Amino acid sequence: MDFKKTETYFFSGVEIHAKYGDLYLWNEIIEKSKSDNIHNVIFVCDDLKEDWWFIHEGKTHGALAALKQKYVKS
């Protein structure tokens, strides 16, 4: 979560707090994968925040283990 963000948006009548944007996105990816029986996902973005990626010695090696585990368990 990005606690610095305080904006609120509305999309299709749903109130979305910007600080939870990444959480909404990740949950949507998981739900879409489940509903369409998708087992592998390639997620392309330009977000470099460390709450998404496993970064070691300055190199990005993929999604954080916690995100991958949540995907697999869902």
Q: What is the mean pLDDT of residues 11-26?
A: 83
Ramachandran class of 3: left when φ > 0, alpha when ψ lies in -120 to 50, beta otherwise: alpha
Average pLDDT of the chain to the nearest whole number = 86
Alpha-carbon span 40 to 55, nearest angstrom: 21
Distances (CA, A) of 2 to 16, 19, 33, 37, 51: 13, 5, 25, 30, 9
Dump pLDDT digits (tens) for 22-41: 888 899 999 999 999 999 99
**pLDDT value, residue 46:** 87
Spell out the domain ranges in the chain: 8-73
User: Residue 3 — very low, low, confident or very high, per pLDDT cuts 50/70/90?
Assistant: low
What percent of the chain has a predicted confidence (pLDDT) above 90? 27
